[in-house]
């Protein structure tokens, strides 16, 4: 079995969702081809560690599928891995630097295994690979392969070349072929939830962000390929699909009729798949929140009432310097329109504190926006200068200590929002899609429509079903309740 591991970063960030979701991500047993003499070759082992966002989790799953077809089996420790892959994140400095400390450990494992005659190939994939390319091999010569996010379908060929004696390979170009066409069919084992990347890259060039440089220009997958992938997931037991994209609501893929389709159109098409019960999407930009998508939240029953809509700062001056092209007032007006159509929608957001030039008054404006918008959830970050982005060389860089204090104050306000939102659910009946068994005997864990984790004592046969749960208690990060009846 090949399984992707992940690396949580911040206690109250999107990584928490990512870790929870990962628990129920499984991969098929690989079945190595028989040798010509009929004997079964020793399986090769792969260790994959995933850093960063859900899009990397999706990419790690797809890499695992490519490798499973080549006879690789899972290992959850690098010590016995023939192939170790770090699928990396470059969004903030800390995330990128962690990769180098992990590479130090992998280098030691590689040389210890080499003494026993065993080979270990080390691959750096994902956004650090894309951003740093050959620099990685210079800093960490034990690395065999630097693999950009558009090239991982070529893993078997590249590993073959390395085993054939070629020296370190750096594959970070954006190839002409569509990697999604070249990947094997989805082979994830039975799972209730899944990610589906529908869009990659970004053309918005917010001045703090590396994504346009690491993931390239916006690309949307055609509807036909997405419907096909979603149908296969549903056949394997998936009931809840989260559509992923760096700017997912800017989706504009080729429709079944050849014309460009919006995210609202794609959601409508996916909602017609029998057996698919819930659809979510992330991450969205306020500028791409179209009328049709707002309307879909009001009308499409399978589209869950949860929306992640980053605003970044409550100060218009800072938003302009970030190149966000929205103001605090039009963000608030936008969420008011969304709530008109779907009053119970749970809103989530991303916020950066300490962007260059951010004053105390600007920060107070951010706090005021958080209070007014009444978010159910939020991810908050200290600004991290990223090489090559315009903000990294702007005047007025904010001292670390000021950023730390602002983040602490902001997180208090955010936490009060979690408590309010979860507390308001006590006494309500929520339809919960059960995903897996919980830690305590007899308990199942599922998600409410608002993406909250819900625990209840229930029959494991209910995994994959939506059941009404009466909520009895609320913690900041989860709810508990008792089952009322199956819907």
| CA–CA distance, 39 with 62 (Å, rounded to integer) | 28
Q: Could you please report the per-residue DSSP string of 322-334?
A: TT----HHHHHHH
**Residues 297-316 close enough to bind ligand SAM by CB under 6 A:** 310, 312
**How many H helices and E strands in the chain?**
15, 20
Question: Rounded to the nearest whole angstrom, what is the least distance from the CB of residue 388 to ligand SAM in the complex?
Answer: 11
Give the strand pairing for 83-88 and 145-147: unpaired
| CA–CA distance, 353 with 364 (Å, rounded to integer) | 11
Contacts of 430 (CB under 8 A, 6+ apart): 448, 449, 450, 452, 454, 468, 469, 471, 479, 481
Of 208-216, 313-321, 327-335, 356-364, which segment contacts ligand SF4 by CB under 6 A?
Answer: 208-216
Nearer to ligand SAM, 211 or 264 (CB): 211
Answer whether 131's CB lies under 8 Å from 213's CB.
yes
Report residue 199 as tokens. Answer: 């869009």
| CA–CA distance, 327 with 283 (Å, rounded to integer) | 19
Is position 202 an interface residue for ligand SF4 (rule: CB under 6 A)? Answer: yes
| CA–CA distance, 237 with 214 (Å, rounded to integer) | 33
Answer whether 389's CB lies under 8 Å from 209's CB.
yes
Is position 205 an interface residue for ligand SF4 (rule: CB under 6 A)? Answer: yes
Buried (b) or exposed (e) across 310-326, using 16+ Cβ within 10 A? Answer: bbbbbbbebbebbebeb
Of 36-44, 206-214, 228-236, 430-438, which segment contacts ligand SAM by CB under 6 A?
Answer: 206-214
**Residue 172 interface partner, choices ligand SF4, ligand SAM, none, CB cut-off 5-8 Å depending on type:** none
**Residues 78-97 close enough to bind ligand SAM by CB under 6 A:** 91-92
Per-residue contact track with ligand SAM, 208 to 227, x per CB under 6 A?
xx-x----------------
Is position 246 an interface residue for ligand SF4 (rule: CB under 6 A)? Answer: yes
Nearer to ligand SAM, 397 or 477 (CB): 397
Alpha helices in 347-392 (DSSP H): 360-373
**Residue 384 interface partner, choices ligand SF4, ligand SAM, none, CB cut-off 5-8 Å depending on type:** ligand SAM
Question: Rounded to the nearest whole angstrom, what is the least distance from the CB of residue 21 to ligand SF4 in the complex?
Answer: 20
Of 9-17, 28-36, 143-151, 202-210, which segment contacts ligand SF4 by CB under 6 A?
Answer: 202-210
Nearer to ligand SAM, 30 or 128 (CB): 128
H/E stretch holding 382? strand 377-382
| CA–CA distance, 210 with 214 (Å, rounded to integer) | 6
User: Which position among 32, 212, 357, 423 is part of the footprint of ligand SF4 (CB under 6 A)?
Assistant: 212
**Site residue total, ligand SF4 (CB under 6 A):** 10
Nearer to ligand SAM, 85 or 211 (CB): 211
| Neighbour count for residue 162 (Cβ, 10 Å) | 17
User: Which position among 25, 172, 199, 247 is part of the footprint of ligand SF4 (CB under 6 A)?
Assistant: 247
Q: What is the dihedral of CA 368, 372, 374, 377, to 10 degrees?
A: -30
Is position 18 an interface residue for ligand SAM (rule: CB under 6 A)? Answer: no
| CA–CA distance, 485 with 166 (Å, rounded to integer) | 61
Contacts of 36 (CB under 8 A, 6+ apart): none
Of 189-197, 235-243, 382-390, 423-431, which segment contacts ligand SAM by CB under 6 A?
Answer: 382-390
| CA–CA distance, 417 with 419 (Å, rounded to integer) | 5
| Neighbour count for residue 33 (Cβ, 10 Å) | 10
User: Which position among 352, 398, 407, 451 is part of the footprint of ligand SAM (CB under 6 A)?
Assistant: 352
The percent of the chain in helix, strand and coil, each rounded to the nearest 5, is 40, 25, 40
Question: Rounded to the nearest whole angstrom, what is the least distance from the CB of residue 145 to ligand SAM in the complex?
Answer: 24
Contacts of 163 (CB under 8 A, 6+ apart): 119, 121
Is position 263 an interface residue for ligand SF4 (rule: CB under 6 A)? Answer: no
**Residues 273-302 close enough to bind ligand SF4 by CB under 6 A:** 285
Report residue 428 as tokens. Answer: 């309500």
Is position 285 an interface residue for ligand SAM (rule: CB under 6 A)? Answer: yes
**Residue 170 interface partner, choices ligand SAM, ligand SF4, none, CB cut-off 5-8 Å depending on type:** none
Nearer to ligand SF4, 71 or 212 (CB): 212
Question: Rounded to the nearest whole angstrom, what is the least distance from the CB of residue 53 to ligand SAM in the complex?
Answer: 6
Question: Rounded to the nearest whole angstrom, what is the least distance from the CB of residue 307 to ligand SF4 in the complex?
Answer: 15
**Residue 205 interface partner, choices ligand SAM, ligand SF4, none, CB cut-off 5-8 Å depending on type:** ligand SF4
Is position 209 an interface residue for ligand SF4 (rule: CB under 6 A)? Answer: yes
Gyration radius of the chain's alpha carbons: 23
User: Which position among 204, 252, 429, 436 is part of the footprint of ligand SF4 (CB under 6 A)?
Assistant: 204
Phi, psi dihedral angles at 257 (to 5 degrees): -95, 5
Question: Rounded to the nearest whole angstrom, what is the least distance from the CB of residue 309 to ligand SF4 in the complex?
Answer: 11
Q: What residues line the site for ligand SF4 (CB under 6 A)?
A: 202, 204-206, 209, 211-212, 246-247, 285
Q: What residues line the site for ligand SAM (CB under 6 A)?
A: 53, 91-92, 208-209, 211, 246-247, 283, 285, 310, 312, 350, 352, 381, 383-384, 386
């Amino acid at each position: 079995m090949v399984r992707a591991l992940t690396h949580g970063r911040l206690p109250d960030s999107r990584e928490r969702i990512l870790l929870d979701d990962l628990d129920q991500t499984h991969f098929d047993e690989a079945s190595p081809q028989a040798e010509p003499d009929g004997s079964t070759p020793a399986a090769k082992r792969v260790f994959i560690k995933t850093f960063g966002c859900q899009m990397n989790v999706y990419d790690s799953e797809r890499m695992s599928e490519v490798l499973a077809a080549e006879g690789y089996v899972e290992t959850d420790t690098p010590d016995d891995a023939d192939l170790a892959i770090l699928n990396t994140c470059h969004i903030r400095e800390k995330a990128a630097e962690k990769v180098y400390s992990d590479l130090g450990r992998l280098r030691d494992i590689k040389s210890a295994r080499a003494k026993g005659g065993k080979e270990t190939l080390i691959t750096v994939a994902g956004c650090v690979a894309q951003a740093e390319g050959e620099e990685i091999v210079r800093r960490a010569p034990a690395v065999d392969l630097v693999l950009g996010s558009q090239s991982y379908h070529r893993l078997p060929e590249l590993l073959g070349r390395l085993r054939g004696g070629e020296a370190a390979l750096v594959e970070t170009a954006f190839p002409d072929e569509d990697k999604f066409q070249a990947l094997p069919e989805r082979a994830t084992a039975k799972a209730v939830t899944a990610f589906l990347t529908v869009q990659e890259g970004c053309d918005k060039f917010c001045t703090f962000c590396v994504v346009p440089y690491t993931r390239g220009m916006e690309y949307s997958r055609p509807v036909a390929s997405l419907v096909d992938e979603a149908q296969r997931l549903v056949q394997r037991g998936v009931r809840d699909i989260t559509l992923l994209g760096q700017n997912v609501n800017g989706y504009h893929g080729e429709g079944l009729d050849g014309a460009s389709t919006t995210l609202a159109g794609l959601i409508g098409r996916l909602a017609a798949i029998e057996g698919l019960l819930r659809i979510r999407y992330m991450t969205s930009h306020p500028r791409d929140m179209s009328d049709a998508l707002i309307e879909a939240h009001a009308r499409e029953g399978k589209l869950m009432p949860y929306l992640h809509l980053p605003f970044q700062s409550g100060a218009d001056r800072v938003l302009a310097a970030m190149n966000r092209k929205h103001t605090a007032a039009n963000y608030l007006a936008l969420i008011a329109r969304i709530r008109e159509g779907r009053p119970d929608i749970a809103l989530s957001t991303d916020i950066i504190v300490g962007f260059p030039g951010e004053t105390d008054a600007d920060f107070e404006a951010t706090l005021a926006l958080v209070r007014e918008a009444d978010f159910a959830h939020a991810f908050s970050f200290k600004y991290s200068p990223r090489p090559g982005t315009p903000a990294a060389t702007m005047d007025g860089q904010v001292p670390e200590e000021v950023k730390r204090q602002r983040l602490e104050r902001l997180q208090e306000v955010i936490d009060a929002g979690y408590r309010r939102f979860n507390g308001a659910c006590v006494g309500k009946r929520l339809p919960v899609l059960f995903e897996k068994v919980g830690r305590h005997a007899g308990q199942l864990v599922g998600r409410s429509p608002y993406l909250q984790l819900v625990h209840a004592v229930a029959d494991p046969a209910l995994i994959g079903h939506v059941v009404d749960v009466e909520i009895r208690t609320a913690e900041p990060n989860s709810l508990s309740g008792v089952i009322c009846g199956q819907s």
